[in-house]
Chain A
Amino acid sequence: MLVGIPLEQSKSTIKPKECAVEMSDYLVEVAQTRSKIAFSKIFNYFAPRLRSYALKQMGNEALAMELVQDTMSNVWQKAHLFNAEKGSPSTWIFTIARNIRFDMLRKLQNRKEDVCSDDLWPVLCEQTADLNEAPLDEQVTLEQIGYLFESLPVKQKAVIEAIYIDGKSQQEVADELVIPLGTVKSRTRLALQRLKGMLQTND
């Protein structure tokens, strides 16, 4: 039978907001000093909650504990990837747990699809920053680039066109235009700088 009587009221008095700040600080501490005490605080808060989630999802104590252990191991080993600006500790930790569960279930169900959680939700990739690029519909369109490209000085345009559109090497371009390789390089650099400047002012 279900006994719905609060047992741990003392633990439930922490407000989510304050808790997020507190846990966030502990995560930073783990990342910077490998503090076992800070990790224990994170663990004591999240492990029972993760276990409850895991039990519902996996329906089995052993698998649930495996999920808890894998999740918390990742928290310990990859705390440096947590970024408080991108989300709360619980969102980060949930994402890790959800990913592990996704891969566990895939194995349990013997599915052979070669689709792993890292591809779908790259939360633990070392290069997360690169992967967090803007969605394509917010990125610069080819038309925009084309328009800006047209405004480059003729000589720079020729070099950029040969390298980026025709796919030639810098040496090939130098030979073709009968100019020193260094000139090709500096024109490329100047053109890219200019394009970059124009893109920034265009935003």
Chain B
Amino acid sequence: MIRFHPSAQQLVSFVDGNLSPAVSLMVSAHCDMCSTCQRFVEQETERLAGSLLEGSLSEGFLLEENGSKSADFNPDYSTMIAQITQTPSSLEADSGFKLHATSDKNKFSSSNTVPVVNTIANNSRESAIELDGKVFTLPRTLQRYIEKTGSWSSLVGKLWQAPVDLGSQGVANFIYMGKGGSVPEHTHRGTEYTLVLNGEFSDGLNSYDSGDFIFMDGQNTHTPRSDHSQGCLVFTIVDQPLHFTSGIARLLNPFSHLFFR
């Protein structure tokens, strides 16, 4: 059961489009897994669209200054309409697209089973990542990043990580903790977001389950550990490397950008 969600403020900013791209990605992936937040986002989108686009033009739609002469501002809308309506619809532009794709509700009753099997196999290949024979289906938002995911490498103990190339800002990784695996005690210099994709882990402060969205900005020191029989797969984004605080684990600091919060 999902216990940790983005804050209402984060969800609202997500709908506004004002969260950073990396954090938006985390929130979006969480919503793929969490019907409660998905519904909240849908309702907030409706509310915002209504307040922005359904109000009358006379209330708050006039610009500062020259309100009485708003006609002067009026851009050449008729030219714009003319330009736009000259372009083809995307259906015409993409002639390969079939307007009435058959509903796939009856896909299993198709007399030819081969394509069905292939489709399932292909889909599962694109929507899942694999580690050591285990296959993890990813939330829709993260599926496009599968092809940008590097190969798994073993860290200490039962920890594995695969880097995801999001571009320059922030470092994203899939991290897998095998059963009994743990991350050495550490603190955070920046902020870190973690989304639990599969399995459970705990860090002495809390226990986290699939779908949990965890935000951390450097107040706590902790030691994540998974005792779940299937281990635990998470997706994580940090904007600053972690800092390991004790003993031999300090040797990890050169690699610390790889870790949990």
By a beta-carbon cutoff of 8 Å, the part of chain A in contact with chain B is 1-9, 11-12, 16, 19-20, 31, 34, 36, 39-40, 43-44, 46-53, 55, 65, 68-69, 72-73, 76-80, 87-88, 90-91, 93-95, 98-99, 101-102, 105-106, 111-115, 117, 119-122, 126, 131, 133-138, 163-164, 170, 185-186, 188-189, 192-193, 196
Contact = CB atoms under 8 A, between A and B. Distances in A.
B17 A99 contact: yes
A46 B53 contact: yes
A76 B87 contact: yes
A69 to B, nearest CB: 6
Given A87-B46, A94-B45, A135-B33, A43 B77 contact: yes
B139 interface: yes
B54 A16 contact: yes
Nearest to A14: B56
A77 B167 contact: no
Given A90-B53, A111-B20, A119-B141, 10 more contacts: A1-B65, A12-B58, A43-B81, A77-B90, A78-B90, A102-B24, A115-B21, A135-B33, A136-B32, A193-B109
Nearest to A106: B21
B75 A136 contact: no
A137 B211 CA distance: 8
Nearest to A195: B108
Contacts of A101: 17
15 contacts: A11-B57, A43-B81, A76-B85, A76-B87, A77-B87, A77-B89, A78-B89, A91-B46, A91-B49, A94-B48, A112-B168, A113-B166, A113-B170, A136-B211, A137-B35
Given A78-B89, A114-B165, A115-B166, A2 B64 contact: yes
Going nearest first, the 9 A-B pairs with the smallest beta carbon separation are A12-B56, A94-B49, A3-B67, A6-B58, A115-B21, A112-B167, A113-B21, A90-B53, A112-B168
Contact of A93 (B34, B53, B91): B53
Given A6-B58, A16-B54, A114 B117 contact: no
Contacts of A80: 89-91, 99
Interface in B145-202: 148, 165-170
B207 interface: no
A112 B22 CA distance: 11
B84 interface: yes
A46 B52 CA distance: 10
A131 B77 contact: no
Contact of A73 (B16, B50, B84): B84
Q: Tell me if B's interface is mostly helix, strand, loop or mixed.
A: helix
A79 B17 CA distance: 23
B145 to A, nearest CB: 8
Contacts, number: 204
A106 B86 CA distance: 29
A106 B91 CA distance: 28
B59 interface: yes
A138 B35 contact: yes
B144 interface: yes
A16 B49 CA distance: 11
Interface in B1-40: 2, 15-17, 20-22, 24-25, 28, 31-35, 38
Contact of B25 (A16, A87, A119): A119
A7 B62 contact: yes
Given A69-B80, A95-B45, A101-B17, A111 B167 contact: yes
Nearest to B25: A115
A35 to B, nearest CB: 9
